[in-house]
Structure 1
Amino acid sequence: MSLDTVKNAEQTPDAAQPWADLGLKEDEYARIREILGRRPTGAELAMYSVMWSEHCSYKSSKVHLKQFGEKKPDSDAMLVGIGENAGVVDVGQGYAVTFKVESHNHPSYIEPYQGAATGIGGIVRDILAMGARPVAVMDPLRFGAADHPDTRRVLPGIVAGIGGYGNCLGLPNIGGEVVFDSCYQGNPLVNALCVGVMKHEDIHLAQASGAGNKVVLYGARTGGDGIGGVSVLASETFDDTKPAKRPAVQVGDPFQEKLLIECTLEIFREKLVKGIQDLGGAGLSCATSELASAGSGGMRIELDTVHLRDHTLSPEEILMSESQERMCAIVEPDKIDRFLEICEKWDVIANVIGEVTDGERLEIYWHGELVVDVPPRTVAHEGPTYQRPYARPSWQDALQADAPTAERLARPTTGEGLKADLLKVASHPNQASKSWITDQYDRYVLGNTVLSVGEDSGMIRIDEETNLGVSVATDGNGRFAKLDPYTGAQLALAEAYRNVAAGGAKPLAVSDCLNFGSPEDPDVMWQFAEATRGLADACLVLGTPVTGGNVSLYNQTGEVAIHPTPVVAVLGVIDDVTRRTPLAFAEEGQLLYLLGDTADELGGSAWSQAVHDHLGGLPPTVDLERERLLGDILIAASRDGMIDAAHDLSDGGLGQALVESCLKGGHGARIVLPEGQDPFVLLFSESAGRAVVAVPRSEELRFNDMCTARGLPATRIGVVDGDSLDVQGQFSVSLAELKDAHTGVIEALLA
C-alpha cells in the first residue's frame, strides 16, 4: 500500500476515507477539508479524529464549562488554572500544589485491571508534567449492583489495577469512594486523582517555543496497545445492538513509570526543558499539536525516529497510539546532550524526533515524505463546538413528587425499629466498611500520610520541618443529582468542602470529574447543563475556583444512562498537620455536639435506598453560607485544640456518622436526642451543613462561646462512653454487633 502523503492528498481529492469509522461526523470531515483546502492524508485524519473526539475536545461540554472561568471567584492562591495538564495553587512557604481528577471509565469496563492501572498512570503523568513530584493518589469509584455477577468480574480487577500500579509507584492511596448502584451496571466509573508538590519556581507548562529547540520523546516504546484508546472509546455509547469500536486498552508498566518520574524530576532540577507534555489520550497527536498550539511557532516532526515496540505500525497508528509511560519535552540545543545523559542514567529511552520552527504549521514527515501539514490550533484547540439541545426531562416532576414521606415509605416508630434500620443502613454495601478494597492499597508509603482512607479526607505532610500539609476529599452523590442536578452538584462540592474542613484544613480549590450519559440525549444534556451551572455558582460563593478536571460522557448502555455523577475534589491547606482532627471517638468522657440544623430531608438518602430501595423526592437543601460558617468553626476549633474528633454528616445522617466514629475509635457513646424532635429524622436525615464533634470537657465553654458568637447552632447530644451506641430511651447496640453488621459485607458479596 502506497504512503498517503500531502502531495498524494492534493492529487486525489475524491479518494474514499474512513472518517465515519474513526468517529467523525460528516460535517466534521467537511470542516477538516475546509481547513486544509484539500482532503486530509490518512495521518491527518487520524490526528483530527482523536483530537476532535468527545474525550479530547469537549465539543459538547465546553459551552457550559466556560462558566468556571466566567464565575471564577477571586483567589490569591490560584497559580495555574484551567487549560493546562493540571491546576496549581499556592499553599504557602514557597510551595505550590497541583492536583487533578480524571476518568478512565470505558477502558476499565473492557479490561478492568489495565483500564484502572493506566488511569492511575495517566493522572500521575499529568501531575508530573506540571513540574511536581506526585505524592498521593485517590480513587472515586462507582460500580453496578453489589450482588450482580458482572460486579464480581469488574470490581476485583479494577481494585487490583489501582493498587498494583499505585503501590509499585510508591504513592500512598489516601482516600476516595466506592458506591454501588444498578445504574452503573455496564458503565462503572473509575475516576483517579493525583496530588503533586513543587516550589513556585518549578512550575512547567505545556508549550513549545523557541525556533530550533528540540522535540524529545522519552519513556516507553510506542506500541499497538491503546490505538485510539480512551480518545475514541470514551466518545461512544456502549450498545449491544450494533458493532462497537473497541480499541485496545492501554497496557501499563508502573516500573517504567517510576523510572520516568525520577528521570523527569532530575531533568527539572537541572532546568533542562522549556516545555513539557505527557502522552495520554490521543498520544503523539495530542502532545505535538498541543505543544505547538500553545507555543510561539510551528513544529517539524520526523515520525520514523519514534522508538517503537512494533515496527509494522503505520504513521496513522503511531500518531493514534496511547501507549503509556511516555513524555514529550522541548529542549534547547545546548542542553540536549545533558538531557539524553540523564535519560540514559535512568534507563529511559529518549529520541530527538523533531524541532520547533518559526513557521505556523505542524509538519510531520515519514521517511522523508510529508504526511501531516496542519495549523496546530485547528487540531488541538479549535475543534467543533456543539450547542447540544437540552430540556428538562418529562419524568423529572414525577420523580421529585415521589418523596419518601411517612405516608409513602414506612418509618420506624419504636426503638427496636430504629435499631433495625440503623443496622440495615450500616450494612448496606454503600455504607459498609470498604476495608477489603482499601487494604489492597498502600496508604503510608513515603511516610507523610497524616489522614487516609476511613477518614473524612486524606491529608499529606509536605514539609517535614514546618509540618505544612494539604488535605483532599472527593465526593459525589448520583442519587441526589438524579433528583436535582443543580442541587446535587452543589451538595457534592459542599460535602467535599466540609470533609476537608472537618480535618482542620482550609479549602482552597476544586477539581472535578463530570460523569454523564450521552450528550446526544436532551435529558442528559439538561442534567449536565444544570450540574455545571450549580457547581460554578457554588464555587463562586465558597471562594473555591475550579482549577481543572475532566468530562466523561457517553456513560450509558443503549438508552440507559448512569445517574448524573459530578465528582468534586476539594483541596485544602493546613499549617500544622499535628493539629489535624480525626473522626474517631478515641477517649471516654469527650462531649458530643451536633453542629447545624436538622430537617426532614430523606430524598435520595441512604436510608431510603438501604431500607426501601427507593429514589424520589428532592435532595437536601443547600445553604452555602452555612457551609462556609461550619467550615470556619471546624478549622478554628481544630487549630485551637477545642475539638478532639469531627465527622461530617452526609450519607446515612447522624446515625451512620456515630457508627463510624465509634467503630473507628473503639469507644461507644451515650446519646440523648433533643426533646420535641422526631428521633427517626434526627438519626437518618441527610440535611447538609452539619457535623458531629467530640469536645474535651475543658474546652466546652470556649467551644460553645465560639459557636454562639458566630451564630452556628451547636447542640450537646451525648458523651463518649462504654462499649455500645446507646440512644437513650430508644435502643442500645453493642460495638460488636455494629462491627458484625458493618464489616465483611463486600467480601461476602464478591465470594
Structure 2
Amino acid sequence: MNDSAMDQTLAAQLKQEGLSQDDFTEIVRRLGREPNRAELGMFGVMWSEHCCYRNSRPLLRQFPTEGPRILVGPGENAGVVDLGEGFRLAFKIESHNHPSAVEPFQGAATGVGGILRDIFTMGARPLALLNALRFGPLEDPRNAGLMEGVVAGIAHYGNCVGVPTVGGEVAFDPSYSGNPLVNAMALGLMETTEIMRSGASGVGNPVVYVGSTTGRDGMGGASFASAELSEASIDDRPAVQVGDPFLEKGLIEACLEAFKSGVVVAAQDMGAAGLTCSCAEMAAKGNLGIELNLDLVPARETGMTAYDFLLSESQERMLFVVQAGKEEELMELFRRWGLQAAVVGKVLQEEVVRVLQHGEVAAEVPSRALAEDTPINKRDLISEPPADIQAHWQWQESSLSALAADQVGRVLLQLLDDPTIASKKWVWRQYDHQVQANTVVPPGGADAAVLRLRYQEGAKASERGVAATLDCPNRWVALDPERGGMAAVAEAARNLSCVGAEPIAVTDNLNFPSPETPTGYWQLAMACRGIAEACRILDTPVTGGNVSLYNNTRLPDGTVQPIQPTPVVGMVGLVERLDRLVGLAWPKPQLAADGDHLLLLGLALNSEATDDRIGLGGSSYLQVVHGLCTGRPPRPDLGLEMQLQEMLRAAIAAGLVSAAHDLSDGGFLVAVAEMAMAAGCGAQLKLASSELPLQRLLFGEGGARVLVTVPAAELAAFIALSQARGFPYQQIGLVQANELLQLHIGQEEIFELELNCLSKAYQEALPRRLLGHTG
C-alpha cells in the first residue's frame, strides 16, 4: 500500500472514530508509537465529547458541588445525598438522544436501563424514574412516530423492570425535528452500608464480568452520540443497543446481594464505550492498571475482534474488582440469577489497560490517557452576544396589538391546546407509576413527584418522603442562555417547594448544539454560568450529570439545524411530613360559600414595578398566539425566589395551605386553569384594575410567583406569617363549588368559561395530534 492509500485509510479510520489529525498526533506521542486498530477505537470512544467532556469540562468546574448533605459528588456513577434517619439517596440523569433518533423504541428503552445501572452500581435500589423529552411538532408524522416509539420504549423498560416512572416533562419545538431529546433520571435508596465506588484497588485482585453476553450491538455508541445527525444516520442503527429489562431486574437483585456481602471491591457499569470505559475508569480512579483477557469474556457472537469486544455497548453488563479468593462465591451468586459470570482479568500495579486475545497483546494503553488525562478543546468565548440574539433582545412588547377583553377566553383555550402546556396524560398513562407502592401523588397531581421513604427493615412507612422534578425553559435558554439556565434551577426548586419539599441537590443534562461554532459555545458557556449562579444562591449543589453536544441535524440541502439549547435540571428535595403534602388540586367546597381563598405569592400581577421581572419575551403566549420566539426573557430574581420558597414551605409545614402551583408556561391564567381542572371545580377571580396590557397581566411569564389556596379558617394565620416574614401576597379570588372559571378585572367581567370546555382543549391536545382522534 502506497503512502497516499495509507493516508486515506487513516483518514477514514479517524473519521469513523470521531478523532482529528491532531488527536492522532497526540495519541502517537503518548504511546511512543502508532496505535493499532483496537487502540484507535479505544481512544475514539474515550476522547469523545460523550465520555470525556472535552468541550465542556472547564465550564462544569464552576458548578458548586459540596454541601452538608452531599455524600458523593461528580465523578462517580451517580451522586448520593444524605436524607437523614439513615436514608441515603442516589440519583443521576443521562441522555440517549441520538440512539432514540434512529431507533426510538430501543434508544429510549436502553437509556432507561443505563440510568438504572448508574443507580444500583452505587449500592442503591432503584426507587423511581423521570424523563425529560423534546420533539418536533406533532403535525409532522415523523415526529409523532418518534414520540410514540420513545414513550413506548420508556414504558416497556420501566414497567418490565419494576421501577415506577413518576414524572418529568415533554415539550415541542421545530428545532427538535429529527433530533429528539430523551433524558432519563433515576433515584434510588442505598441498601449497602458502604457506598460502592468505581476505583480499582488491590493488585492481583480478580476482575469479574457479570450480566449479559457481549455482542456487536451498540458499536461505537459514544462516538455516534458525539456527532451531528443526518439522513445517513439511519446507517448507524448498529450503534443502538438492544435491552432486556427482565435480565436487568435479575442483575439489580444479584448486584445488591453481592455488594452487601462485602466481597466486591469496586464496581462499574458498562455503559458508553463498554469494556473500554469500565476498565479504563476503574483503573484510572484507582491509580492502578487492569489486564483484560477477551478470550474469557462471555460472547453471543463468533469471530469477534478485539475492536468488537472493546467498543460493544451490549446492555446489562457490569465489571467488578473482587477480593482474591472470593470470585467463585460471587460468580455462583450471579449464576443463580441466570446471569453470566466470569473472571476476565486482574488488577495490575502498572497504570495501563492491557488487553489480551488469542495469547497476544491486542491493545495496551496508559489508563489515565483514556479516562483522566484526556484532551480539552480550548475555545474562546465571544465578548458580545451573537447579532441574532441581540436582535431578539431589541424586540418590544409594544409592537403587539392590544389583547381585547373578549379575546382572553379564546387565547386561554389556545394555550391549553398547545402540546407543550397541554395534559401529558397520554404519555404517563403508559407508565406503571404505582409499582413498589411508594408513589404518593400520581403524575400530573403536583408540581413535583413525591415518593414515600420506607424503613429498610420490615418496610415500615416513614412520615417523610423524597420529591423530584425535571425542568428546562428551552425557549428562554435559546433567547438568553444565562437567564434561561438560572430560570431552570429556580423553577425546579420552586416545584419542589410547591409540595413542601426542601430542595437539596441537582443533577443536570446539558443538551446543546455543536460547540464548534461561536454561537454554540457561547450558549453552552452562558447557560453553565446561569446554572452555577442559581445553584449557589439557592444552595442546591450539583452532584453530577451528563453533557450531550452536537445535537444538530444536517438537512438534505446541507444546512445545519441546531436544537434549542436545553439544559435540563433534575432536582431532589426532602419532604419532612407527608401528611402536610399539597398538590395542585384545590379542595372542592362543601357549600357554595365555603371556598378556599386563592392567593398569589411573590410579585403582584398588576404592579408596574414588576416590568423588568415579568414579561412576554420568550413566552408561550408569544409563541402560540403570534408564532414568535423572540424578545428577552426577564432576569430571575433569585433573592426573591429564595424568600418565596422559604415562605411557601413554612406555610405548608404549618398546615395553612391546601394547594399550590407555580406560574410558568402560559403565566397566571394558565396556572389557575390547571388548578381548577385538577380539582374539578372553578373559581371566581377578581383583579384590581391595571394599566398593564391584558396579555402581560394574564399571560406574562417570569418572576418568583406561586398560586396557593388557603382555607378561610387559616387565612388570618397565613396573613400573620406573611407579614412576619415581610413577604408579599395578593388575594385574587375564591374557589367555588360550581364548574365555572370566572374572571373580573375591576368592574368588568372578562370571561366565564365552563371547566369541561377548558378540559376538552387541555386533555385532547396530544391524542388528537398523535392518534388523529380524541380519546
TM-score range, shorter chain: over 0.9
Tell me the distance in 1 between the aligned counterparts of 2:619 and 2:73: 34
Matches within 5 A, 1:533-552: 533-552=529-548
Matches within 5 A, 1:56-67: 56-67=51-62
Give, as a single letter, the amino acid of the residue that structure 1 aligns with 2:580. Answer: R
- Give the conservation status (yes or no) of the 8 Å contact 1:52–1:379: yes
Give, as a single letter, the amino acid of the residue that structure 2 aligns with 1:466. Answer: S
Would you say 1:479 and 2:471 are equivalent positions?
A: no
Q: Which residue in the other structure is 2:416 paired with? A: 426
- Give the conservation status (yes or no) of the 8 Å contact 2:666–2:700: yes
Would you say 1:400 and 2:400 are equivalent positions?
A: no
- Give the conservation status (yes or no) of the 8 Å contact 1:390–1:524: no
Q: Which residue in the other structure is 2:493 paired with? A: 497
Q: Which residue in the other structure is 1:55 paired with? A: 50
Q: Which residue in the other structure is 1:275 paired with? A: 266
What's the CA shift string for 1:675-710, capped at 9, x where partnerless? 335454332111221000011111111111111221
Q: Which residue in the other structure is 1:573 paired with? A: 574
Tell me the distance in 2 between the aligned counterparts of 1:305 and 1:711: 69
Q: CA deviation at 1:308?
A: 0.6
3-state SS in 2 of match to 1:201: coil
Tell me the distance in 2 between the aligned counterparts of 1:16 and 1:493: 45
Q: Which residue in the other structure is 1:3 paired with? A: none
- Give the conservation status (yes or no) of the 8 Å contact 1:191–1:513: yes
Q: Which residue in the other structure is 2:670 paired with? A: 656
Q: Which runs of 5+ in 2 are unaligned?
A: 1-5, 455-459, 555-559, 590-594
Q: State the identity as a percent.
A: 43
Q: CA deviation at 1:361?
A: 1.9
- Give the conservation status (yes or no) of the 8 Å contact 1:401–1:616: no
Tell me the distance in 2 between the aligned counterparts of 1:211 and 1:352: 15
Matches within 5 A, 1:130-169: 130-169=122-161
Give, as a single letter, the amino acid of the residue that structure 2 aligns with 1:592. Answer: L
- Give the conservation status (yes or no) of the 8 Å contact 1:170–1:446: yes
3-state SS in 2 of match to 1:40: coil
Tell me the distance in 2 between the aligned counterparts of 1:619 and 1:326: 45
Matches within 5 A, 1:245-284: 247-284=238-275
Would you say 1:20 and 2:15 are equivalent positions?
A: yes
Tell me the distance in 1 between the aligned counterparts of 2:197 and 2:713: 51
**Closer/same/farther in 2, CA of residues 557 and 389 from structure 1, 3 Å limit:** farther
What's the CA shift string for 1:96-145, capped at 9, x where partnerless? 10111111001101000000000000000011111100110001000001
3-state SS in 2 of match to 1:378: helix
Which residue of 594, 598, 606 maps to 2:600?
A: 594
Would you say 1:742 and 2:762 are equivalent positions?
A: yes
Would you say 1:353 and 2:376 are equivalent positions?
A: no
Tell me the distance in 2 between the aligned counterparts of 1:576 and 1:745: 36
Q: Which residue in the other structure is 2:557 paired with? A: none
3-state SS in 2 of match to 1:222: coil
What's the CA shift string for 1:345-386, capped at 9, x where partnerless? 111111110111222222111021011222101011111101
Q: CA deviation at 1:638?
A: 1.5
**Closer/same/farther in 2, CA of residues 553 and 244 from structure 1, 3 Å limit:** farther
Q: CA deviation at 1:188?
A: 0.6
**Closer/same/farther in 2, CA of residues 660 and 708 from structure 1, 3 Å limit:** same
Would you say 1:209 and 2:201 are equivalent positions?
A: yes
Q: Which residue in the other structure is 2:169 paired with? A: 177
Tell me the distance in 2 between the aligned counterparts of 1:184 and 1:713: 39
3-state SS in 1 of match to 2:665: coil
**Closer/same/farther in 2, CA of residues 411 and 162 from structure 1, 3 Å limit:** farther
Which residue of 516, 521, 528 maps to 1:532?
A: 528
- Give the conservation status (yes or no) of the 8 Å contact 1:146–1:181: no
What's the CA shift string for 1:629-661, capped at 9, x where partnerless? 111112111111110100011111111111111
Matches within 5 A, 1:647-726: 647-676=661-690, 678=692, 679-721=694-736, 722-726=738-742
Tell me the distance in 2 between the aligned counterparts of 1:146 and 1:426: 16
Tell me the distance in 2 between the aligned counterparts of 1:244 and 1:13: 25
Aligned-pair Cα RMSD in Å? 1.8
Matches within 5 A, 1:625-664: 625-664=639-678
Would you say 1:334 and 2:325 are equivalent positions?
A: yes
Q: Which residue in the other structure is 2:625 paired with? A: 611
Moved more, 571-580 or 132-141: 571-580
Would you say 1:410 and 2:425 are equivalent positions?
A: no
Tell me the distance in 1 between the aligned counterparts of 2:232 and 2:546: 29
Would you say 1:78 and 2:70 are equivalent positions?
A: yes
- Give the conservation status (yes or no) of the 8 Å contact 1:227–1:320: yes
Tell me the distance in 2 between the aligned counterparts of 1:576 and 1:367: 61
3-state SS in 1 of match to 2:462: coil
Give, as a single letter, the amino acid of the residue that structure 2 aligns with 1:56. Answer: C
What's the CA shift string for 1:477-509, capped at 9, x where partnerless? 111011100000000110000000101100000
**Closer/same/farther in 2, CA of residues 246 and 388 from structure 1, 3 Å limit:** farther
The aligned length equals: 733
3-state SS in 2 of match to 1:446: helix
Tell me the distance in 2 between the aligned counterparts of 1:13 and 1:436: 53
**Closer/same/farther in 2, CA of residues 365 and 14 from structure 1, 3 Å limit:** farther
Q: Which residue in the other structure is 1:7 paired with? A: none
Q: Which residue in the other structure is 1:228 paired with? A: 220
3-state SS in 2 of match to 1:473: strand
Tell me the distance in 2 between the aligned counterparts of 1:402 and 1:217: 59
- Give the conservation status (yes or no) of the 8 Å contact 2:131–2:182: yes
Moved more, 725-734 or 591-600: 591-600
- Give the conservation status (yes or no) of the 8 Å contact 2:193–2:260: no
Q: Which residue in the other structure is 1:44 paired with? A: 39
What's the CA shift string for 1:185-236, capped at 9, x where partnerless? 111100100001115733111111001211111111001111112x011111
- Give the conservation status (yes or no) of the 8 Å contact 1:13–1:38: no
Tell me the distance in 2 between the aligned counterparts of 1:500 and 1:592: 20
Tell me the distance in 2 between the aligned counterparts of 1:50 and 1:472: 32
**Closer/same/farther in 2, CA of residues 698 and 618 from structure 1, 3 Å limit:** same
Tell me the distance in 2 between the aligned counterparts of 1:112 and 1:128: 25
Q: CA deviation at 1:390?
A: 3.8
Tell me the distance in 2 between the aligned counterparts of 1:420 and 1:158: 33
Would you say 1:291 and 2:306 are equivalent positions?
A: no
